[in-house]
Chains A and B, each alone.
Chain A
């Protein structure tokens, strides 16, 4: 059974700092891995999607990496801003495209 763990559960950083969010999964037989952002009281917004054959994806200040063999992914946020404050969720899709989410990392960027 696939399990997805995100560390840390919460993170508070000063504006401008570079930071890394971690995601690990127990079954390496995945189809893809996706990082989402969720603002309080809102739905989820897709940030980056990495196919199982890829090693990383970049979008603006965001970079996500995938090491399928070790069951790990990281989301790197460069030059953090107060607007980055949100909960970040990692989700893996496996056979049949069933998607399993981690519990999320709650990020607070202080101005």
Chain B
């Protein structure tokens, strides 16, 4: 398996523009997580899905952020409009929960480095 795939790897945009980050989880995993990492705040959970359904979005900073998971193999995180303070590395992670301990492990993608000018 190729692991968790994220695109793009780097994104530079101007303030006010819409940004869409994409994630393909590991096949067979039924949970998906979006995180944001900054120097100031560390790694923060934004939202997570279980079986394509959003379970907890309390970490989403504001209404400018939205996430969707239309099917088990694809998720998007959208920021509209983007602001300079949104600059960060955004990680997607997936997990397969089937009762075994090994499947509780979260597997992270390589991240998308977002810079908003």
Chain A interfacial positions (CB closer than 8 Å to B): 31-32, 34, 36, 42-46, 49, 51, 89, 91, 93, 96-104
Chain B interfacial positions (CB closer than 8 Å to A): 4, 31, 33, 42-45, 48, 50, 55-56, 91, 93, 97, 101-102, 104-111
Whether A101 contacts B42 in the complex (CB less than 8 A), given A44-B91, A96-B56, comes out as: yes
Query: In the complex, what distance in Å separates the CA atom of A16 from the CA atom of B43?
Result: 30
The total number of A-B Cβ pairs within 8 Å is 53
Secondary structure of the A side of the interface?
A: strand
B44: A residues at CB distance < 8 A: 101
Q: Which of B93, B106, B110 has the most CB of A within 10 A?
A: B106
CB proximity of B43 to chain A, nearest CB, Å? 4
